[in-house]
């Protein structure tokens, strides 16, 4: 994960103002209610943390998304998108630890535990085999 710090000019003055996060290997500095604080950032998090947060509860971590490209009338749609996420300060035990944010239809539809994510993966593989069977029917042979 790359380390970056963004700075900008304020009202033409010669002093610089930090407008983005600073990141070390395992923490990120974020702006919460105008105060700079440092929070632990998991190694899978690729979220830039660049916005100013209203409260610590709003700080979340998100990894890169994976998705399946599926043909559509408009070309290609990204479906079955998933990423690792967590909301460590939100006060919800279901989201404070990493979970799989699962998006099948363009809006996050589930927050999956590791067990539920494995079940969804197994169902996706089974669906792939069923799709191959349908192809086999119309192609006149097993696929």
- Tell me the pLDDT band of 70, cut-offs 50, 70 and 90: confident
- Tell me the pLDDT band of 141, cut-offs 50, 70 and 90: low
Round to whole Å and give the CA distance between 116 and 47.
24
Round to whole Å and give the CA distance between 16 and 20.
12
Round to whole Å and give the CA distance between 17 and 85.
29
pLDDT at 109: 77
pLDDT at 125: 95
pLDDT at 115: 95
- pTM (2 d.p.): 0.70
pLDDT at 74: 86
Checking if the pLDDT of 41 tops 50, the result is yes
């Amino acid at each position: 994960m790359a380390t970056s710090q963004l700075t900008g000019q304020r009202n033409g003055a010669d002093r610089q103002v930090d407008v983005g996060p600073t990141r070390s290997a395992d923490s990120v500095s974020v702006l919460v209610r105008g105060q700079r604080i440092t929070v632990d950032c998991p190694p899978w998090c690729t979220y830039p943390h660049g916005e100013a947060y209203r409260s610590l509860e709003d700080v979340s971590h998100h990894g890169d998304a994976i998705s399946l490209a599926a043909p559509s009338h408009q070309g290609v749609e990204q479906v079955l998108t998933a990423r690792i996420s967590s909301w460590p300060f939100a006060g919800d035990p279901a989201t404070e630890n990493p979970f799989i944010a699962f998006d099948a239809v363009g809006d996050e539809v589930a927050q999956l535990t590791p067990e539920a994510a494995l079940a969804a993966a197994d169902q996706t593989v089974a669906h792939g085999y069923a799709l191959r069977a349908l192809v086999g029917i119309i192609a006149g042979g097993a696929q």
